[in-house]
Amino acid sequence: MLDEKLLQERLNQFKPEPLVDFKHDPNKVYEIPAVVESDDVIDLAKTNFLGLLDNESIKKTAEETIRKYGVGTCGPRAFYGTTEVHLMLEEKLAEFFKTEECIVYSYGFVAISSAIAAYTNRKDIVFVDKEANFPIQQGLRVSRSRIVYFDHNDPESLLREAEKIKAEESKKKPTRKFLIVEGISWKTGKLCPLPRFIEVAEMFKMRIFLEESYSLGVLGDTEED
């Protein structure tokens, strides 16, 4: 039974905090606008590693794509939102990375966090670099896996942590394990010692997520980071 009196009393007592603890300041610039480049102004703030942002042939292709498919897809991939362009892109990417297949997402942040949450669940153990970027952290929070941190870019630290976990694990049914590393760290800009990480991961039968937001197209001679 609902205690009407108590409800009324507690409702009167209930003083919710404001929606956001924040006051808009009309004199403040909240967003720094894009830089317009000229002879005296060079924009070093953008990530434009290969100078493709202003490429005319890319613009032309974008125009042709809109003239055939329009701007939006009006639906998710499963519901007639997959166009030939997506298929072509995925095929080219798989060829470029020498993988069996590839899937593209429309938003970088969500690609990282969704992929992690799609494969990992609360029964798994995920080994993560201490300096892992924010999208990775978000993916892990959604997955609710057991998270084990190791020192930044240090495969030996990973080895120690993995051994600790192995010691406490039952021999019969090993837990599924994952390792998440970044090619170039968002936070420190350092390159990860991937070959050694792969060695350690194979020793403990971990599957590897490699996050290449900042290293793709930047490192390696042609196609390999």
User: Residue 213: which residues within 8 A CB-CB, separation 6 or more?
Assistant: 108, 112, 133, 182, 183, 186
CB of 124 to another protein, least distance (A): 9
Which residue, 154 or 169, is less far from another protein as judged by CB? 169
Helix (H) or strand (E) holding 194: helix 194-203
Q: Of 141, 160, 164, 187, which lies in the binding site for another protein, with binding defined by CB under 8 A?
A: 141
Interface residue with another protein among 93, 97, 131, 138 (CB under 8 A) is: 138
87 in contact with another protein (CB under 8 A): yes
Total residues contacting another protein by CB under 8 A comes to 79
The three-state secondary structure class of 132 is coil
List binders of another protein among 7-36 (CB under 8 A): 7, 10-11, 13-20, 22-25, 28, 30-35
Dist CA 140 CA 126 (whole Å): 8
Q: Is 82 in the site for another protein (CB under 8 A)?
A: yes
Q: According to the binding rule CB under 8 A, does residue 122 interact with another protein?
A: no
Which of residues 37, 53, 188, 223 is near another protein by CB under 8 A? 53
Pairwise CA distance, residues 171 & 40, whole Å: 66
Binds another protein (CB under 8 A): choice among 92, 103, 108, 190: 108
Helix H or strand E segment including 92: helix 84-97
The residues in 155-174 that bind another protein, with binding defined as CB under 8 A, are: 173-174
Residue of 34, 49, 45, 32 lying closest to 213 (CA atoms): 49
Q: How far is the CB of 33 from another protein (least distance, A)?
A: 5
CB of 125 to another protein, least distance (A): 11
Q: Interface with another protein includes 98 (CB under 8 A)? A: no
Using CB under 8 A as the binding rule, whether residue 50 contacts another protein is answered as no
Question: Helix/strand/coil (H, E, C) string of 203-225?
Answer: HCCEEEEEECCCCCCCCCCCCCC
Residue 70 lies near another protein (rule: CB under 8 A): yes
H or E stretch including 130?
none
Cβ pair 210, 183 in contact under 8 A = yes
Between 112 and 158, whose beta carbon lies closer to another protein?
A: 112
46 contributes a contact to another protein by CB under 8 A: yes
Residue 65 neighbours by CB under 8 Å, 6+ apart: 85
